[in-house]
A and B are shown apart, each in its own frame.
Chain A
Amino acid sequence: MTTATKHISFNEALPALFGAQFSANGWFAGREAALQQFLALGGIPTVKVEDWKYTNVVPFFKNDIQITLPEVPEVTAAQLEAAATLIPDAHRLVLVNGVLQQHLSQLPPAAQVTVSRLSEAGTQPAVELYFNQSPKINEHHFAQLNSALFNDGLFIEVKAKAIVEQPIQVIHLYAAGQSRLFNPRHLVVVNEGASVQIVESAAGLGLTDTVVINSVTESIVAERAQLSQYQLQTGGNQLRFINQNLVEQKGKSLYNNYTFTLTDSDFVRNNLNISLDEERTETHMYGFYIAAGTQVIDNHTSVDHRMPHCESNELYRGVLLDKATGVFNGKIYVHEDAQKTNAFQQNNNLVISPEATLFTKPQLEIFADDVKCSHGCTIGQVSEDALFYLRARGIGEAEARNLLVKAFAFDITAKVTIPAVRKHVEQIASQYLNA
């Protein structure tokens, strides 16, 4: 029961630390309430909490994990280039330990997009309107922990009708001398009729110990606006991710999410929660993960269809190797008023190794009667017929399998609309699959 003791000590140690450093940090007045809510929810969730049943995070929060305010070391352009793949023809925002670095960034035109440190955005009207307002944010343990402890992050607001042609690449760099917890916090607001693509990735800078990144992003897609968010989880081996993205869509908006988890990190948990607040929205969610070694990769998504005539479409695929564990949980709620909903969900997995484990759970709750919903999940091997076809043409079995696994992946990467991103992701996927 040693882990239980440690778990209690993290939760128990928290209030004192919070009082000393965080309670009066910055403009956000809700920290104390968030801390209390986190503790009321039971603190760090154990596997007894339904949503954390398959992923035990308790061991990551040992009492030596630092939760003090992070320092922000000086980072050079050379260090940035060594740590991250820069996308050509893109605006670029670089953060070190959650803090925006002007000297490494190339901001989008101010006439189209407001970009600032979240810690300096307290008086922005959009922050007052939307910050920490996402539906159900109170139910999420780690979102509450983040609200209590966040130090900084990004505030991005795209002005009404602004069409931002080039993608905005956001690179999060993390540096720490010992095991620690980071709580970056971001707010993205895309106003009426505006359009933007945001490509995020994270990497460690010379980490010698594991760090946990408990990131929360709230994203608002206003009427007729379009937002595409890419999570390229391709970085480093000392990073553990707990990501939460809470998205709200207004009438006739379009939201695309791409989550690629192709990483050396031993633990990734993504929570994508999308709330369709008004009519005639369109949503696409694409995910692809490769889990190898003893990695745990866990994707939880939820879509709340609250209003009529909304369409959501979700396709997640995974490849499981070695002794890895994959989790997919896709919730779709169709509320009583959400007539004429179209909601589709697919989760396909190739479990290559007999020692790998996969948990997949579609959860559809439908309270309206005039809806089209479908879901499917598969756990399997590559198709024997396809394998035979390739071998019958002289292609060796190992190579044929490799081709088929790549084909399975590239079906998803083909949905990526930014060519440089697609190429980058396919390269990394190939590397992992060839290894």
Chain B
Amino acid sequence: MLDIKNLHAAVEGNAILKGINLTVKPGEVHAIMGPNGSGKSSLASVLAGRESYEVTDGSVDFLGKDLLDMSPEVRAREGLFLAFQYPVEIPGVSNINFLKTAVNEIRAYHGEPPMQAKAFLDMLKSKQKLMEFDANLMNRSLNEGFSGGEKKRNDIFQMAMLEPKLAIMDETDSGLDIDALRIVSAGVNKLRSKDNAFVIITHYQRLLEYIVPDFVHVLYNGRIVKSGTKELALELEEKGYDWLKEDIRLEEPVQ
């Protein structure tokens, strides 16, 4: 589904991603962990198509197409979804109109007619139920004045509505209360199928107890320096990252 090869990217001339290799197959859940500033959100941004990042080397194949060649909207329409670490507030754009526009633009891309009002509302209701998302937030401006946790939940709710093939969730757990974490995880688990995949960026093992990953990767200094199974997350939780940094220093030539 997703095949990242030797991906290098820079912001304003600063190299941030320095050779990422990652393969995600349908049905899989991958967790990406790593210290602050290691490049996790940058990887997510590059995959979603943020224009401030310049890809300097490497390739990304998404469902047989060149992802890097697509505009952000085409990536979304092809089935990529990014739940943001910091969802933005957009005053004046109503949540519900925004969603309707997004759903219908994605449908139009696939040659489908716009959704009927009734069908849209039914879908809205069922996904609200799935994610236990407060219906009152639907009629407000997009994320405006939402609490930190509400913004995160709104992003996940959008994910449920848009039914992506590959969802990248950037620190969705930070800011969620204990109940919300459980609710959101249960929702994600229900969305999981053999046809879709998730890349979950997180700092904490706790989320991975709810959404059990098939693989765990450690991103450090723009590279994936270690990959393993869910046990790796437990080990990181216990020992932190220092032991990995030591290993890397031993491996790399001193600069």
**Do the beta carbons of A395 and B84 come within 8 Å of each other?**
no
Interface check A391, CB cutoff 8 A? yes
| Closest beta carbon of chain B to A416's beta carbon, Å | 14
Q: Please classify the interface of chain A as helix (H, G, I), strand (E, B), loop, or mixed, using the class held by over half of its residues.
A: helix
Closest B residue, CB atoms, query A411? B92
Check B87 against A391 for contact (C-beta < 8 Å): no
* B91/A411 in contact, CB under 8 A: yes
For residue B76, CB closer than 8 A to chain A, the reply is: yes
**Cβ < 8 Å to A, chain B residues 58-97:** 71-73, 75-77, 81-82, 84, 87-88, 90-93
Given contacts A390-B98, A407-B92, A411-B92, contact A397 B105 (CB under 8 A): no
Query: How long is the Cα–Cα vector from A396 to B51 in the complex, in angstroms?
Result: 15
The interface residues of chain B lying within 8 Å CB-to-CB of A400 are 73
CA distance A411 to B50 in the complex (A): 27
Residue of A nearest to B158 (CB): A393
Cross-chain contact A392 with B72 (CB below 8 angstroms): yes
B48 CB within 8 Å of chain A? yes
A388: min CB distance to chain B, Å: 6
Please report the C-alpha to C-alpha distance between residue A400 and residue B93 in the assembled complex, in whole angstroms: 10
Tell me, rounded to whole Å, the shortest Cβ–Cβ distance linking A392 to chain B: 5
B90 near A393 with CB under 8 A, answer no
Cβ of A363 to closest chain B Cβ, rounded Å: 28
Establish whether residues B98 and A404, one from each chain, have CB atoms under 8 Å apart when the complex forms: no
Given A385-B88, A386-B88, A389-B87, A394–B77 Cβ distance below 8 Å? yes
- State A397–B72 Cα separation when bound (angstroms): 9
Distance in Å: Cβ of B10 to nearest Cβ of chain A: 18
CB–CB B71/A389 < 8 A = no
The distance in angstroms between the C-alpha atoms of A386 and B91, with both chains bound, is 10
Closest Cβ neighbor of B48 among chain A residues? A392
Q: Are B50 and A394 in contact, with the CB atoms below 8 A?
A: no
Q: Does B49 contact A (CB under 8 A)?
A: yes
Size bracket, chain A contacts: 20 to 34
Q: Does B101 sit at the interface, judged by CB under 8 A? A: yes
Q: Which of A386, A391, A396, A397 contacts B90 (CB 8 A)?
A: A386
User: Known contacts A385-B88, A389-B88, A392-B49: does B93 contact A397 (CB below 8 Å)?
Assistant: no
> How far is B156's CA from A29's CA once the two chains are assembled, in angstroms?
72
A355, CB-defined interface residue at 8 Å: no
Selected contact of B93 from candidates A384, A385, A396, A407, CB within 8 Å: A407
Kindly supply a per-residue 1/0 record for chain B positions 98-127, scoring 1 wherever the CB is within 8 Å of any chain A CB and 0 otherwise: 100110011001000000000000000000
Q: Once bound together, how far apart are the Cα atoms of A393 and B83, in whole Å?
A: 10
Interface residues of A in 387-434 (CB under 8 A from B): 388-397, 399-400, 403-404, 406-411, 414
Bound Cα distance A383, B71 (Å): 18
A residues in contact with B162, CB < 8 Å: 393-394
- Tell me the bound Cα distance from A385 to B45 in angstroms: 11
Residue from B84, B93, B102 within 8 A of A394 (CB atoms): B102
Whether A392 contacts B82 by the Cβ 8 Å rule is: yes
The one of A383, A388, A389, A395 that contacts B101, using a Cβ cutoff of 8 Å: A395
4 closest Cβ pairs, A-B complex: A407-B92, A394-B76, A391-B72, A393-B102
Interface residues of A (CB under 8 A from B): 383-386, 388-397, 399-400, 403-404, 406-411, 414
Q: A395-B73, A395-B98 are in contact. List 8 more A-B contacts (CB 8 A).
A: A389-B84, A392-B73, A392-B81, A394-B76, A400-B73, A406-B92, A407-B92, A408-B92
A selection of 26 A-B contacts at a CB cut-off of 8 Å is A383-B88, A385-B88, A386-B88, A388-B50, A388-B51, A389-B87, A389-B88, A390-B102, A391-B71, A391-B76, A392-B48, A392-B81, A393-B98, A393-B162, A394-B76, A394-B105, A394-B109, A394-B162, A395-B73, A395-B98, A395-B102, A396-B73, A403-B101, A404-B93, A406-B92, A407-B91
